[in-house]
Amino acid sequence: MEPWLDDLADDLQSLSFTSCSSAAVNRSTSSGSASNSGSSSLSPSAHGSFSSKHLRSCTLSLADLNFSLRLGSGDIGSVYLAELKSPAPLPPDPNAVDTNENNSDDNSRRSQVVFAAKVMDKKELASRSKEGRARTEVEILKLLDHPFLPSLYAAIDSPRWLCLLTEFCPGGDLHILRQRQPLKRFSESSVRFYASEMVVALEYLHMLGIVYRDLKPENVLVRADGHIMLTDFDLSLKCDDSTSTPQVILDRKPSFQAPQTKNTIDQPSSCMIPNCIVPAVSCFHPKRKRKRKTVHRGGPEFVAEPIDVRSMSFVGTHEYLAPEIVSGEGHGSPVDWWTVGVIMFELFYGVTPFKGVDHELTLANIVARALEFPKEPAVAAAAKDLMLQLLVKDPARRLGSTMGASAIKHHPFFQGINWALLRCTTPPYVPPPFRRVSDESCPATPVDYY
């Protein structure tokens, strides 16, 4: 834990929380905070700090909020459970019917309003040159409106602290959930459920010109209804409007190779110059010795990938990095599809596919080692084939590199998925109702949420 985090509890006494009701959330939230939802429009000032602009605002003091649990911590901040206290009961209205009962129910609902509060020390951000990452996360959160992505309910800008209030997910994350499974592995139906929702969430981000770049089980949270919510966007790449142009492709059909019996994929191509790894342009035209079976699907395909963006940054978590990030040749949206393949592998087998004894060997394996499937447990051929196509080391040949999520959705592994009604699918796990446990009552018990 960073030393500066020790001062947070004391400094929370002076935090000023600013929320607004200028933008209504159009979807229900599992935390029960939809009626109190809102977002503050933040923009960097001349000196690089954040200022709040809003249409209507109210200031909440510490008397109105409780910071009870520390949910987790990251590179640029920590996440706390922030609870909105019940206001003082209003005087009874003699003209109202069942006043006492209504007030009691209303106060009960208000007392259950909780948020996940990501708190960042602005001085620490400046000293470590991390202000840009915090600014990127705020800008991205303000754009999001999707059932599998967080909504920014409020933003706090105090002299020292920057705090973002989003939905609290009582189900923890996929890493914690996997640890609780038999043999720490998920069933095929569970993997299909979580993978399908990740694909849809990434498709929406790509449509906005955002490359996520930090997909890992710890960042896939489980909401109260059992569906997922991606979190942590400080490493994401936000593209210019010109780099993400949605288009309708009428005559291009995704093709799929029949599942292979081998347990390895082809060796990575030696053509790894920068011009070859721009996602939308492929310089690879392999000669096929035999005609592959092609699945034709009628109707137009909608593609919304940020096809022209390329970043040279080395960002992410070692085991989930795509080869093009490791090699430093530049990367774009296909890195997210690579990570979907890594997570699927981990959910099936309990380990990531290229993990080595240390970080250096892990990175070497990602770039050079062929993909191998363990003999146990037995995994369906369609699932292996999807992982094979997602974990192609050459990004220009990776599934989803040009046709985006559309190609992935049409893979046989997702046969039977109703993408339009994905939110209506029954989750494999629904967390029990959240009960707040204070640190004082269980000082020695770790709280596994994020």
Q: With 60 as the cut, is the pLDDT of residue 21 above it?
A: no
Same domain, 147 and 283: no
**How, if at all, do strands 78-84 and 114-121 pair?**
antiparallel
Same domain, 153 and 50: yes
Same domain, 136 and 185: no
Long-range contacts made by residues 22-29, C-beta under 8 angstroms, separation at least 24?
A: 22/54, 22/55, 22/56, 25/145, 25/151, 25/153, 26/145, 27/145, 27/147, 27/151, 29/151, 29/167
Tell me the per-residue pLDDT of 34-43, one tens digit each, with 9 for 90 and over.
Answer: 333 333 433 3
Mean pLDDT of the chain: 73
447 within a domain of the structure (yes/no): no
Dihedral-angle region of residue 202 (phi above 0 means left; psi in -120 to 50 means alpha; beta otherwise):
alpha
What 3 state SS string does 374-435 have? CCCCCCCHHHHHHHHHHCCCCHHHCCCCCCCHHHHHCCHHHCCCCHHHHHHCCCCCCCCCCC
Listed residues 150, 167, 184: the one ending a domain: 167
Tell me the per-residue pLDDT of 436-448, one tens digit each, with 9 for 90 and over.
Answer: 654 443 333 344 5
Same domain, 300 and 243: yes
Compute the residue count for the chain.
450
445 within a domain of the structure (yes/no): no
Tell me the per-residue pLDDT of 230-274, one tens digit each, with 9 for 90 and over.
Answer: 999 999 988 765 445 555 554 444 445 544 444 433 333 333 333
Same domain, 202 and 145: no
Could you list the active site residues? 214
Shortest CA distance to 321 belongs to which of 308, 334, 307? 334
113 within a domain of the structure (yes/no): yes
Same domain, 75 and 99: yes
Tell me the per-residue pLDDT of 139-186, one tens digit each, with 9 for 90 and over.
Answer: 999 999 999 999 998 887 888 888 898 999 999 999 999 999 999 999
Listed residues 167, 196, 222: the one ending a domain: 167
- Tell me what the mean pLDDT of segment 213-231 comes to: 96
Specify the higher pLDDT residue, 111 or 385: 385
Same domain, 112 and 83: yes
Cβ-based neighbour number of residue 5 at 10 Å: 15
State the CATH number of the domain containing residue 106.
3.30.200.20
435 within a domain of the structure (yes/no): no
- The CA distance from 125 to 130, in Å, is 5
Same domain, 181 and 307: yes
Specify the higher pLDDT residue, 98 or 368: 368
432 within a domain of the structure (yes/no): no
Same domain, 228 and 315: yes
Lowest mean pLDDT segment, chosen from 7-16, 22-31, 115-124:
22-31
Same domain, 261 and 133: no
Q: Give the CA distances from residue 49 to residues 4, 113, 280, in Å, rounded to whole numbers and listed in that order.
A: 18, 29, 36
Listed residues 167, 200, 233: the one ending a domain: 167
Helix (H) or strand (E) holding 108: helix 99-111
228 within a domain of the structure (yes/no): yes
Tell me the per-residue pLDDT of 316-374, one tens digit each, with 9 for 90 and over.
Answer: 688 999 999 998 888 888 999 999 999 999 999 999 999 999 999 999 999 999 999 99
State the CATH number of the domain containing residue 333.
1.10.510.10
Same domain, 373 and 321: yes
- The CA distance from 83 to 111, in Å, is 8
pTM: 0.72
The distance from CA 167 to its chain's CA centroid, rounded to whole angstroms, is: 13
Same domain, 312 and 419: yes
Residue-range definition of the domain harbouring residue 12: 3-167
Cβ-based neighbour number of residue 418 at 10 Å: 9
- The pLDDT score that the predictor gives to residue 145 is 95
- The CA distance from 356 to 362, in Å, is 4
- The pLDDT score that the predictor gives to residue 329 is 83
The CA-CA-CA angle for residues 47, 8, 121, to 5°, reads: 20
303 within a domain of the structure (yes/no): yes
- Give the total number of structural domains in the chain: 2
- The pLDDT score that the predictor gives to residue 381 is 97
